[in-house]
């Protein structure tokens, strides 16, 4: 029989389940700025930082880092999805990144449908993409039987750290799917052959578009911040800045850009988001269902590239950033707290654990 504490935790867990596909925020440039406390960002940041810090202390006191990762993976509502989809639908390369991309593509299907109606063959660029889950996701989205160099719907180019050189052997993703070797002509590693976009010069960015600009760009780059969660946003910032710079230089007017980001607390991040608001008609922030609820990962779907800056009221952008940050921070804080409460209450040792 459930005690009160167990029932309360399950109720909160079920509330998270209801919101699983609703973790989205669309930037509203008509937002009323009168009810927004601009100083609230510090409070949101501090609250999230304290919860993350308490998790680190919790790991030290009760679990090793490895055990905590295994436990939070178990608590992740979509942890069995990869296995289920592999078996049911015979997906060639089903990973968490693949499923996240499929969900993001579904949310953007109107844009693709408009392109399809005009019989336009679109050009796609994948930045920081290895081992290639987004490439597979887009081929499956178009219901194509196999990945090809190009096809009647689109042509694609892919960048990642080069896994075939010694300099990258410790940091690059392996060519698990075999895409990078099989489609070497679709790869772009830059003049130093490392694939590190932080090294790309203006000339190399121009080389990306010798055959024309792109209609759709994805940027799924990240940097391991497990040991310094409190500085994750700053650690990843240079990479995100470069991804956005490349996208703005290589995207066609009317194009779409999807980029992975984390929290929006730093001034430099807010400048980047303001830039995106000046360059795209619509910005939607999404936490895909397969993204672990206890982390800060989100994706920005940026639709209909203007090609040049338009005027936006910075105060309205800041209002949206505050509201968006509060929403996603609350989701994350609640997920972390449920993980800790469920462990402390020994709920997982009770028969009811099978319902999780």
Is 341 annotated as belonging to a binding site? no
Note if the bond before 250 is cis, omega within 30 degrees: no
Q: Locate tokens 């105060």: which residue? A: 315
Longest dimension (CA), the chain: 67
Catalytic residue among 23, 115, 242, 260: 260
What is the rounded CA–CA span in Å between residue 13 and residue 19? 10
Per the annotation, the verdict on 115 as an active-site residue is no
Contact residues for 244 (Cβ-Cβ < 8 A; gap 6+): 219, 259, 272, 275, 276
- 353 burial level (CB within 10 Å; 0-12, 13-18, 19+): middle
Contacts of 240 (CB under 8 A, 6+ apart): 219, 221, 259, 260, 261, 269, 272
Other Cβ atoms closer than 10 A to 191:
11
Residue 132 known to bind ligand = yes
285 contact partners, CB below 8 Å, separation of at least 6: 24, 25, 26, 27, 298, 299, 300, 301, 324, 328
Task: Note whether 57 and 273 are within 8 A (CB).
Answer: no
8 A C-beta contact, residue 225 and residue 231: yes
Binding site as annotated, residues: 132, 220
Active site residues: 260
Binding site as annotated, residues for S-adenosyl-L-methionine: 132, 220
């Amino acid at each position: 029989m459930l005690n009160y504490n167990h029932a309360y935790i399950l109720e909160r867990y079920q509330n998270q389940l209801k919101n699983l596909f609703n973790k989205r925020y669309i930037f509203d440039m008509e937002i009323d700025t009168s009810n927004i406390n601009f100083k609230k960002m510090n409070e949101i940041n501090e609250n999230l930082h304290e919860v993350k810090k308490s998790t680190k202390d919790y790991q030290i006191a009760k679990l090793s880092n490895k055990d905590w990762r295994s436990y939070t993976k178990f608590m992740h509502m979509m942890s069995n999805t990869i296995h289920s989809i592999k078996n049911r639908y015979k997906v060639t390369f089903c990973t968490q990144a693949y499923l996240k991309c499929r969900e993001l593509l579904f949310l953007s299907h109107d844009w693709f449908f408009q392109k399809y109606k005009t019989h336009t063959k679109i050009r796609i660029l994948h930045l920081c993409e290895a081992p290639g889950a987004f490439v597979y996701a887009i081929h499956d989205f178009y219901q194509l039987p196999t990945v090809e160099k190009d096809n009647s719907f689109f042509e694609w180019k892919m960048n990642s750290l080069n896994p075939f050189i010694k300099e990258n052997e410790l940091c690059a993703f392996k060519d698990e799917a075999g895409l990078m070797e099989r489609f070497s002509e679709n790869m772009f590693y830059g003049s130093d052959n490392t694939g590190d976009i932080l090294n790309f010069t203006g000339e190399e960015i121009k080389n990306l578009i010798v055959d024309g600009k792109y209609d759709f760009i994805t940027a799924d780059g990240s940097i391991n911040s497990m040991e310094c969660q409190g500085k994750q946003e700053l650690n990843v910032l240079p990479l995100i800045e470069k991804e956005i710079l490349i996208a703005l230089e290589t995207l066609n007017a009317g194009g779409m850009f999807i980029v992975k980001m984390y929290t929006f607390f730093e001034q430099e991040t807010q400048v980047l988001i303001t830039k995106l608001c000046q360059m795209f008609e619509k910005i939607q922030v999404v936490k895909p269902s397969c993204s672990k609820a206890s982390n800060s990962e989100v994706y920005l779907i940026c639709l209909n590239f203007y090609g040049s800056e338009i005027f936006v009221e910075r105060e309205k952008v800041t209002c949206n950033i505050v509201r968006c940050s509060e929403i996603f921070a609350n989701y994350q804080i609640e997920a972390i707290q449920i993980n800790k409460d469920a462990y402390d209450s020994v709920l997982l040792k009770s028969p009811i654990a099978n319902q999780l």
